[in-house]
């Protein structure tokens, strides 16, 4: 192969890479193995909806959120999920503005609740931390003021929750977005989290298939922001004691 042919071959490769990069940048939503999602428009406000009855002790509430698919934003209902291990706490995902796009930061399980954009998802997720209960002696103790529980099998207490964020804004940063920033403890928690689990992926996929969940349908009232009762994964701990 002569020098001219080598230069032409190298030029073709560089041009191909440049075209690939342009195609990737032009896509309104891009996902690489479920790790990274970016969107050029902000998600809608959070809808108002009722929490379904908790199926039993050991279930944790994971709030609803907006996800993005080929047809645009769609609502993923909140659901009760069996805690994957004793002491597990859920940090919700959130949309955050960065580099001219909205990035999805996926939720995850851990021993501490990390930063979730300051979004007030309700039911104990006030924008900072979690006020819906705590683990004690291997079981979860529920705050009945923000959780829909019933029956004597639950260990519970009732404490009024002060909300850190009162708006229905569903994203952090950008035009009209929340301005919360992670504290040192929340930032440290996000650095040592575990998996977000296959149950949540399946739950998201199921939500995407429901046309009523799509933002384009404009169904954001409490009557249409439907919820899923529960998704079974992992460990089911018993009730704790106050």
pLDDT for the residue numbered 124: 97
In a domain, 91, yes or no: yes
pLDDT for the residue numbered 239: 33
HEC profile of 56-83: CCCEEEECCEEEEECCEEEEECCEEEEC
Place of tokens 């291990």: 85
pLDDT for the residue numbered 165: 82
In a domain, 131, yes or no: yes
Give the integer Cα–Cα distance in Å for 183 and 30: 29
- Within the chain, which residues score under 70 in pLDDT? 1-36, 184-242
Q: Do both 201 and 91 map to the same domain?
A: yes
pLDDT for the residue numbered 224: 42
pLDDT for the residue numbered 163: 83
Residue 70: C-alpha distances to residues 27, 130, 138, 225, 229 (Å) = 10, 32, 42, 20, 26
Q: Do both 10 and 43 map to the same domain?
A: no
Hey, which bits of the chain come out as E strands? 29-31, 37-39, 59-62, 65-69, 72-76, 79-82, 89-91, 94-98, 101-105, 108-110, 133-136, 139-143, 156-157, 171-172, 230-231
pLDDT for the residue numbered 133: 98
pLDDT for the residue numbered 229: 55
Burial 31-65 (b: 16+ CB within 10 A, else e): eeeeeebbbeebbbebbebebbebebbbbbbbbbb
pLDDT for the residue numbered 86: 97
pLDDT for the residue numbered 215: 63
Q: Do both 58 and 150 map to the same domain?
A: yes
Q: Do both 23 and 133 map to the same domain?
A: no
In a domain, 199, yes or no: yes
Q: Do both 133 and 76 map to the same domain?
A: yes
Q: Do both 153 and 80 map to the same domain?
A: yes
Q: Do both 78 and 17 map to the same domain?
A: no
Closest by CA position to 130, among listed 78, 242, 121: 121
In a domain, 239, yes or no: no
Q: Do both 61 and 85 map to the same domain?
A: yes
Number of domains comprising the chain: 2
CB within 8 Å of 77: residues ≥ 6 apart: 49, 64, 203, 207, 213, 225, 226, 227, 228
In a domain, 108, yes or no: yes
Domain containing 7: what range?
A: 1-31
Q: Do both 208 and 96 map to the same domain?
A: yes
Q: What percent of the chain has pLDDT over 90?
A: 56
Q: Do both 21 and 116 map to the same domain?
A: no
Q: Do both 7 and 97 map to the same domain?
A: no
């Amino acid at each position: 192969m002569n020098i001219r042919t080598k230069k032409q071959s190298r030029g073709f490769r560089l041009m191909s890479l440049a075209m690939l990069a342009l195609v990737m940048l032009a896509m309104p939503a891009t996902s690489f193995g479920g790790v990274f999602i970016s969107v050029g428009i902000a998600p809608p406000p959070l809808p108002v909806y009722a929490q379904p009855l908790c199926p039993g002790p050991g279930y944790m509430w994971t709030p609803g959120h907006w996800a993005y698919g080929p047809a645009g934003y769609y609502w993923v209902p909140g659901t009760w999920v069996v805690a994957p291990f004793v002491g597990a706490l859920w940090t919700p995902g959130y949309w955050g503005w960065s580099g001219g796009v909205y990035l999805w930061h996926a939720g995850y399980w851990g021993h501490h609740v990390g930063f979730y954009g300051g979004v007030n998802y309700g039911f104990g997720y006030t924008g900072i931390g979690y006020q819906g209960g705590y683990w004690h002696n291997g079981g979860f103790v529920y705050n009945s003021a923000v959780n829909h529980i019933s029956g004597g099998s639950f260990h519970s207490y009732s404490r009024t929750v002060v909300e850190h964020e009162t708006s229905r804004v569903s994203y952090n940063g950008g035009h009209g977005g929340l301005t919360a920033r992670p504290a040192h403890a929340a930032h440290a928690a996000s650095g040592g989290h575990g998996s977000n689990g296959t149950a949540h992926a399946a739950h998201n996929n199921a939500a995407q298939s429901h046309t009523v969940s799509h933002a384009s349908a404009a169904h954001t009232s409490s009557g249409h922001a439907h919820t899923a009762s529960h998704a079974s994964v992992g460990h089911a701990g018993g009730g704790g004691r106050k």
